[in-house]
Amino acid sequence: MKSRPCLTVFLLLVVLLPIAADAAMYAYVDARGICHYTNAPGDGRYKLNERPARRVGSPEDQLIGTILRRSSSRLSLAAPQALNTYIHVAASTHQVDPLLIKAVIQAESNFDPNAVSSKGAQGLMQLMPGTARDLQVANPFDPRQNIDGGTKYLRYLLDNYKGNVELSLAAYNAGPGNVTPYGLIPDIPETQAYVAKVLQNYRSYRSSGMVSLPSINVRNMVTVH
């Protein structure tokens, strides 16, 4: 069963990469089971991958067409321009400062849509599988779904903590159960470091001249000290 995602990615690459018909393809599977392909290996992990000739109109062509029609290629989904669009759409939908969303993504995954933590959190905003299901995120590795779900959860936390960003971020990292009883950032080194990192990212984005959406009143929403 593990070979099916690899086959899907490989078939997409066969169509999308501008390589010559006789060019060799090299591949390796990383520790997370993600397949990587290239026609110019610069890494010893890549091994030659034999690619059989393909006839136009063959069943393989039909399969590729179906894949491309049913889902957007993850090669383009992770492009910076696409991520910016998803962030701003989610920001507008859930009324969260897009710069705060970006700061969370940077701290959580450093903009890697395939990131998986040691605890099993997935994607750009590192959603746990149970949280993703609650947020109706069918595919946490889809940047658009992940950003929308993570922002929706962040909005819930901001409402729960009356716009206090520090407490909302602490709950995002450690869970509301570790924050709500005391109304304080819990004495958990990882959580304290996480809150500080996100706030540092957030201040950096704001001081660099990046603007928030005009429909969002940032001053009323955040309490960053």
Collapsing DSSP states into helix, strand and coil, what is residue 38? strand
Cβ(86)–Cβ(123) under 8 Å? no
- Which one is catalytic: 50, 60, 108, 190? 108
Closest C-alpha to 13, from 32, 33, 46, 39? 39
Exposure of 88 by Cβ count < 10 A (0-12 exposed, 13-18 middle, 19+ buried)? Answer: middle
Cβ(105)–Cβ(147) under 8 Å? yes
Tell me the β-bridge partners of 36: 28
Q: What are phi and psi of 27, to 5 degrees?
A: -145, 155
CA–CA dist 201, 111 (Å, integer): 13
Kindly provide the b/e burial profile for residues 26-52, where b requires at least 16 CB atoms within 10 angstroms of the residue's own CB. bbbeeeeeebbbbeebeeeebeebebe
Question: Is 108 considered catalytic here?
Answer: yes
| Straight-line distance from the first to the last Cα atom of the chain, in angstroms, rounded to the nearest whole number | 50
Q: Radius of gyration (Cα) for the chain, nearest Å?
A: 21
Give the number of other Cβ atoms within 10 Å of residue 107's Cβ.
23
Q: Which residues belong to the active site? A: 108
